[in-house]
Amino acid sequence: MNAPFYKYDIFSFDQSLIIAFIIGIAFGFFLERAGFGSSKKLAAQFYFYDMTVFKVMFTAIITAMLGLFWLSYFGFVNIYLIELIPTYVLPQLIGGLIFGVGFVMGGFCPGTCAVAVTTGKIDGLFTLFGMMFGIFIFGEGFPLIENFYYSTNAGELTLTEYLNIPYGVLVFIIVIIALLGFYGAEILEKKFSKKYEKLAR
């Protein structure tokens, strides 16, 4: 096998930048197609009347997850060469909670606010500036939180290792959870959009 191609030196770093741009275009394209250029639609997830965020996110996850499992199984991809961000339990937990608050407040995540900006949303622009300011604050305050930032490092840890469940079984479990989630999401949407009928698109 010779995939991931970049890890087998099939092309150079400079060429990978062009590929990055193309992949980014596809990424941004589908984000906008899903309606994620709209903060109202994104925030609606947390009021249950539009569960598009959950649906898109988890569909994407199980699509890529299944694709990767089977490509790996048939020897087309060496999954061990795919970069895994190390697990830092506490910072990622706390970071996630903070991020969630910011998400429901701002109505965007970093990727979607880029899409919002190029489709004319001024609130997207403000979120983008806010985000960069937040990154700046973090950078300036880094020496203060450095110890916490590097705490609880579990290294590169996958759920298969941590839960000690075989890869394929875990894939199946997540697919089931996602599908049940979609079913539940449809029900919640119907129930809550009656409530907020005038606001749902």
Helix (H) or strand (E) holding 154: strand 153-155
Based on the shown chain and the rule CB under 8 A, indicate whether residue 194 belongs to the binding site for other proteins: no
CB 87, min distance to other proteins, A: 3
Token pair for 17? 């930048």
CB 30, min distance to other proteins, A: 4
| Cis preceding linkage at 4, omega within 30 | yes
CB atoms < 10 A from the CB of 175, how many?
Answer: 15
CB 187, min distance to other proteins, A: 13
- Name which of 166 and 184 has its Cβ closer to other proteins: 166
Nearest of 168, 149, 147 to residue 159 by alpha carbon: 168
Based on the shown chain and the rule CB under 8 A, indicate whether residue 193 belongs to the binding site for other proteins: no
Q: Kindly tell me which residue out of 24, 184, 194, 197 binds other proteins, with binding defined by CB under 8 A.
A: 24
Based on the shown chain and the rule CB under 8 A, indicate whether residue 22 belongs to the binding site for other proteins: yes
Site for other proteins in 47-66 (CB under 8 A): 47, 49, 52, 55-66
Site for other proteins in 124-163 (CB under 8 A): 124, 126-140, 142-143, 145-146, 149, 154-162
**Residue 16 contacts residue 90 (beta carbons within 8 Å):** no
Phi, psi dihedral angles at 42 (to 5 degrees): -65, -45
Site for other proteins in 93-122 (CB under 8 A): 93-111, 113-122
Amino acid at 17: L
